[in-house]
Structure formats: structure tokens, C-alpha cells
């Protein structure tokens, strides 16, 4: 060391650190997604997705996600003069993300512009955008999902539908009559029984005539109301005939505030850019949606769509996690070699990439089923594969996020990377909209109510039977398990069935559509005795380099 060096203030040179992953095209870099979009019927959307994918990779777009999460929404129940306002203040970046999502049609495009592949195109776009920021996806999803439920009440749909589907975001706390676009939330969960909404105590009192489309006042509480600044909510409340569904506006048509009082915001571990609240309903005006006493049947239309969106959201989280992990490993060396070239790291990355591709492939297959609901096979498949996919993909995400974080090492734990956000977001979809057990029970309910769904499920698998011995064996074992398990044990075994149904469906799709090295690795690691609790235990004889390259080329 010479004297000059010793007295320089520069202590060291920063080396061996990856460049920030930005200025990349989230669609162009995602080969499997591009193939899925074509295959599932939305080739027409490719140019738009390429444009959008590039925008999602811009540093300024990525910054929006960080800013929206660093600045939690704040509730102001009253203004400084003492008026009740129930206002939530968000960082401007949240509003920008909402504005982009709605302008791009993520809240409604298949309803506003129905055409073959419309759900597929929307799912792909949603998948790209929630990689930037996932929490704002909650009101976007609920707005999207409200439309099928509102079909049960055509007069309300005619009145509010055009504004709900309009590509216009207006985040102001003002009556919907002053807006060109509306967002919709949902309020089902109460303190004494979340999954079991039959125990709800909120009551609805008719103002005049009773029945569908009529005005009621609601009295009670809701324990979870996410995105409470939405312009209206689908709410469950009891009438004399039982649990019914209502559309509750945030402001009354006369321009006064509706009595939906926000008590406090939830202090969530994740999903923090989105507000979730506890509310009280003190005679809040609402109109009945659909048949009286059949509220669950009505709102389930919304719930089915939100569950499907949970599949997209969690697949998207996995995609962002694996992309970050591979990018890091491509640029970081340890013990004399780049991480991505080291066999053990290859095993971990390839395994994470397989999980991510399988999740996306199943999700996009379900998007096609959504597009083809007039086809009986697709209808039946959507009925059973939505709870299967929601359960499995959401449940696989937390450990995936954690392993991807570990690939990045200590820096992966730091809040100025996206990894802690992906990790904290990861359990939310699994619990929201029917947690794991509830999904498993829903699979059984679907089979018991309409046994054809199981037939449709196995018909879907049949398309891949004969392509791989391990798969054939797995499917026949699953069939045998269904026949040999006494019905009274189905509930106890529901997770066993759900796990195996999900893996078989993913394998069937990969065997038909993915390159042989992907399908082979999936079958070798998920359908055989090699299956292990941790990622990174792929057996030998596979091609991890090819799997990683497909997920993200250097
Ligand atoms: C971030 C976030 C946002 C949310 N936003 C909203 C919202 O906007 N609107 C809304 O209405 N709700 C919302 N929820 C509530 C959410 O949907 C509920 O938390 C969820 O449905 C579970 O209800 P619970 O919390 O009462 O749990 P419980 O219903 O008490 O369930 C507890 C556990 O028991 C299991 N379980 C339940 N029944 C059975 C059974 N029969 N057999 C075996 N296991 C069973 C469940 O799977 C779960 O693991 C939100 C939740 C979160 C975390």
C-alpha cells in the first residue's frame, strides 16, 4: 500500500453486487407466459402485453410499488371541524397504481369488452402488474369480481355497471354521482364467524317494500372490510328470510354520507399499501341484490372470481421472486464461481422456477376456462379447479418467497429490496377469500353437489395420460384413493386430495405444453418419492440450466 492509498477517503471498491433489476420487459422476458397467452387464446393481446411489460419494468413504475408500501394509508374518521368523514389518505403512488390498473382494464376488461381470450389477456396483464405491487390488486380484484354477482340484480347492474366497468379511476372521497368510474369492495366477515358467514348478525331492515332491488338499512358490524374507500360494497346481512346480499354505497344518492363508519384500520403484516378496516353499519342504506335469503349464492359469484384472482396474484408473486433470485445469482459470485453456475444453487433455482411456471400454467388454463363458460367441460373444470388452484398456489407461495429471499442472502432481508414485501404479501391470499381448509372443503362440496366436476377433472388429466409413466401411475393412484376412501373420511383427508389434485393438474398441463425438460423435472420431483419438504432437492438426471434459462436468460 503506498502513502497515497492510505490517505484516500475511499475505503473500498464496491464489487460483486448485481445491478438493479429494472428497465426490463416483464412480458418479453417471460417465455412461459408468452406461450401460455398464445395457447390459451389471447395471441391478439401480445403487442399490448409487450408494451405493458416494458412499462412495468421501468424504474419509475417499480418505485411506485416501494413508495406505496413505505407510506401506509392513514384513517381520518373526522375532519378538524368534527364532521364524520371516514377518509383514508394514501400516498400518491397508490393512486397512480390504481389509476394504471383501471385505465388498463384490469378491473373489468372481460366484462367491458368480452371476446375470446379476454380473461386470458386480462390475467396476463394482472400477472405483470402485481409483480410491481400486489396490494392495490385487492380493490381491483373486488371491482372485477362484483360484476358477476350484480348480474343477479339487473336493475342495479344497469345503473352501476357502466361506471364500475369504466376505465376511469377517481380516488376522491365524494359521492359516486360525481364520478365517472367506481370501485367495489366486499364485506362478509364478522367477528363471531368469518368462514362461517351463516353466523353473521348484521341485520337489514326494509325501508319500504321488501325484496330484490329494494332499499334497506343495515345495522351491525364487519370485522374485515378491505379497501374501505371503495365507492360501494357487496355486503351480507340477515333479513327474516336469512342471509341476503346487498349493494351498499359509500355515499347516499342525496349526497349525504352513508352510515358505514370505519372504526379503525387493521395493522397488517403485509399488503400494507392497501387499507383493510373494521366497520360499523349504523342504518346504512343498501339495495338487495338477488333473491332474499340466498345471499351466499349471490355473493359466491364474486367470491369465485376473487379466488381465481388469488391464483393470478400468488403466481405473480412467485414469478417476481424467481426473477429476482435468478438475476441475483447471475451476477453474484461466491467461492470463486458465479452462483448461478454452482450445482446446489442451480438445484434451488430450478426448483423455484418449476414451481413458478407450474403455478402460472395452471392459472392461465383457468383463465381460458373463464373465457369458455358456455362450454360444459370448462364450466365444470372451473368449478373444481378454482378451489384446487387457489388452495395450492397460494399455499406454495410463502415458502417460495422465503427461499427466493435466501438466494439473495442478507440483502434479501432488507426493505430496500422487494423480497420482504413479497414475503409479507405471500400468506395473505392463502387466508383471504377462504383459507386453505375452506378451499379443501369447497372441493368436496363441489364433488358432492355435482359429481360431474370430478369426471371433468379426470377428463382434463386424461389429455396427458400416456405421455409419462410416473404421471399415469399418479393419476391411477389418485382415482383409486377416491374410490377406496370411505366418504366419511373425505373431510379428514381433504388436504391429501387437494394436494394431489393440484400437482396432477399442473403435471398434466406441463406434460402437454411445456418443454420436455420442464415436464420431466416436474414429474421427477413432484410425482415420485423424491418429493421433499424443501426446495432444492431435485433428483439428478435433469437439466437445471435449461430450466433456469427458460425462467430468465442472462
Ligand atoms: C388482508 C385481509 C383482507 C381481508 N379483507 C376482507 C374483505 O375485504 N372482506 C371480507 O369480508 N373479509 C376480508 N378478510 C377476511 C377473510 O376473508 C377471513 O379472515 C377468512 O375468510 C377467514 O375467516 P376468519 O378470519 O374468521 O377465520 P375462521 O373462519 O375462524 O377460520 C379459522 C381457521 O379455521 C379453518 N376452518 C374454518 N372452518 C373449518 C372447517 N369446517 N374445518 C376445518 N377448518 C376450518 C379456516 O380455514 C382457518 O384456517 C380479509 C382477511 C385478510 C387477512
**pLDDT recorded at residue 523:** 97
pLDDT tens, residue by residue, 146-186: 999 999 999 999 999 999 999 999 999 999 999 999 999 99
- pTM for this model (two decimals): 0.97
Element (H, E) at 38: helix 31-39
Work out which ligand 1 atom sits closest to the CA atom of 435. Answer: 47
Ligand 1 centroid–CA 398 distance in Å is 18
**pLDDT recorded at residue 532:** 66
* Residue 220: DSSP 8-state: E
pLDDT tens, residue by residue, 110-121: 999 999 999 999
* CA distances in angstroms from 388 to 302, 307, 311, 318, 368, listed in the order given: 17, 10, 10, 17, 16
* CA distances in angstroms from 430 to 129, 269, 355, 459, listed in the order given: 20, 14, 16, 27
Ligand 1 centroid–CA 197 distance in Å is 10
Ligand 1 centroid–CA 538 distance in Å is 34
Integer Cα distance of 411 and 149 in angstroms: 44
Q: Is 546 exposed, middle or buried (0-12, 13-18, 19+ CB in 10 A)?
A: middle
CB < 8 Å & 24+ apart, contacts of 4-7: none
Residue among 431, 436, 495, 496 whose CB has most ligand 1 atoms within 8 A, to mutate: 431
- Apex CA 101: angle with CA 98 and CA 102, to 5°? 85
Integer Cα distance of 520 and 389 in angstroms: 21
Q: Is 432 in the pocket of ligand 1 (CB under 6 A)?
A: yes
Q: Which residues of the chain have pLDDT under 70?
A: 1-7, 530-532
Q: Is 159 in the pocket of ligand 1 (CB under 6 A)?
A: no
Work out which ligand 1 atom sits closest to the CA atom of 274. Answer: 1
Q: Is 437 in the pocket of ligand 1 (CB under 6 A)?
A: yes
Integer Cα distance of 100 and 26 in angstroms: 16
Ligand 1 centroid–CA 273 distance in Å is 20
**pLDDT recorded at residue 261:** 98
Q: Is 269 in the pocket of ligand 1 (CB under 6 A)?
A: no
The residue nearest atom 35 of ligand 1, judged by CA position, is 437
Amino acid at each position: 500500500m503506498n502513502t497515497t492509498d492510505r490517505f484516500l477517503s475511499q475505503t473500498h471498491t464496491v464489487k460483486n453486487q448485481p445491478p438493479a433489476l429494472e428497465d426490463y420487459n416483464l412480458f418479453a422476458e417471460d417465455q412461459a407466459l408468452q406461450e401460455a397467452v398464445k395457447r390459451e387464446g389471447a395471441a391478439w393481446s401480445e403487442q399490448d402485453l409487450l408494451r405493458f411489460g416494458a412499462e412495468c419494468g421501468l424504474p419509475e413504475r417499480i418505485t411506485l410499488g416501494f413508495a406505496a408500501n413505505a407510506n401506509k394509508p392513514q384513517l381520518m374518521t373526522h375532519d378538524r371541524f368534527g364532521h364524520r368523514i371516514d377518509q383514508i389518505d394514501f400516498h400518491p403512488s397508490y393512486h397512480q397504481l390504481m389509476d394504471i390498473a383501471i385505465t388498463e382494464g384490469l378491473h373489468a376488461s372481460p366484462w367491458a369488452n368480452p371476446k375470446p381470450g379476454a380473461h386470458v389477456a386480462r390475467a396476463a396483464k394482472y400477472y405483470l402488474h402485481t409483480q410491481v405491487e400486489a396490494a392495490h390488486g385487492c380493490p381491483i380484484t373486488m371491482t372485477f369480481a362484483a360484476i358477476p354477482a350484480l348480474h343477479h340484480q339487473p336493475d342495479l347492474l344497469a345503473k352501476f355497471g357502466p361506471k364500475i366497468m369504466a376505465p376511469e379511476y377517481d380516488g376522491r372521497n365524494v359521492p359516486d354521482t360525481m364520478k365517472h368510474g367506481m370501485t367495489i369492495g366486499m364485506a362478509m366477515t364478522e367477528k363471531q364467524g368469518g368462514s362461517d358467514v351463516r353466523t353473521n348478525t348484521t341485520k337489514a331492515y326494509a325501508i319500504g317494500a321488501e325484496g330484490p332491488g329494494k332499499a334497506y338499512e343495515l345495522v351491525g358490524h364487519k370485522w374485515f372490510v378491505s379497501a374501505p374507500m371503495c365507492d360501494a360494497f357487496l355486503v351480507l346481512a340477515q333479513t327474516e328470510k336469512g342471509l341476503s346480499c346487498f349493494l351498499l354505497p359509500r355515499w347516499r344518492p342525496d349526497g349525504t354520507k352513508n352510515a358505514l363508519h370505519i372504526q379503525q384500520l387493521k395493522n397488517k403484516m403485509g399488503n400494507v399499501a392497501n387499507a383493510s378496516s373494521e366497520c360499523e353499519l349504523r342504518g346504512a342504506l343498501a339495495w338487495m341484490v338477488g333473491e332474499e335469503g340466498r345471499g351466499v349464492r349471490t355473493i359466491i359469484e364474486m367470491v369465485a372470481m376473487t379466488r381465481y384472482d388469488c391464483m393470478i396474484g400468488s403466481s405473480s408473486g412467485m414469478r417476481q421472486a424467481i426473477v429476482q433470485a435468478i438475476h441475483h445469482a447471475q451476477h453474484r459470485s461466491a467461492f470463486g464461481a458465479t452462483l448461478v453456475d454452482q450445482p446446489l444453487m442451480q438445484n434451488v433455482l430450478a426448483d423455484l422456477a418449476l414451481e413458478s411456471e407450474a403455478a402460472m400454467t395452471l392459472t392461465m388454463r383457468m383463465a381460458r376456462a373463464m373465457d369458455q363458460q358456455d362450454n360444459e367441460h370448462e364450466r365444470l373444470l372451473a368449478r373444481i379447479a378454482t378451489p384446487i388452484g387457489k388452495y395450492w398456489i397460494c399455499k406454495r407461495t410463502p415458502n417460495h418467497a422465503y427461499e427466493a429471499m435466501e438466494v439473495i442472502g442478507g440483502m434479501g432481508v432488507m426493505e430496500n429490496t422487494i423480497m420482504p414485501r413479497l414475503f409479507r404479501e405471500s400468506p395473505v391470499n392463502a387466508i383471504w377469500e377462504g383459507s386453505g381448509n375452506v378451499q379443501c372443503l369447497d372441493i368436496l362440496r363441489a364433488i358432492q353437489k355435482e359429481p360431474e366436476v370430478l369426471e371433468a377433472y379426470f377428463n382434463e388429466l386424461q389429455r396427458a395420460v400416456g405421455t409419462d409413466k410416473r404421471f399415469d401411475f399418479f393419476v391411477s393412484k389418485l382415482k383409486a384413493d377416491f374410490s377406496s376412501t370411505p366418504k366419511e373420511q373425505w373431510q379428514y383427508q381433504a388436504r391429501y386430495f387437494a394436494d394431489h389434485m393440484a400437482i396432477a393438474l399442473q403435471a398434466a398441463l406441463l406434460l402437454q405444453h411445456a418443454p420436455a425438460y420442464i415436464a420431466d423435472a416436474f414429474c421427477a420431483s413432484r410425482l415420485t418419492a423424491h418429493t421433499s419438504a424443501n426446495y432444492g432437492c431435485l433428483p439428478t438426471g435433469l437439466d437445471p440450466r435449461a430450466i433456469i434459462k427458460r425462467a430468465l436468460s442472462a
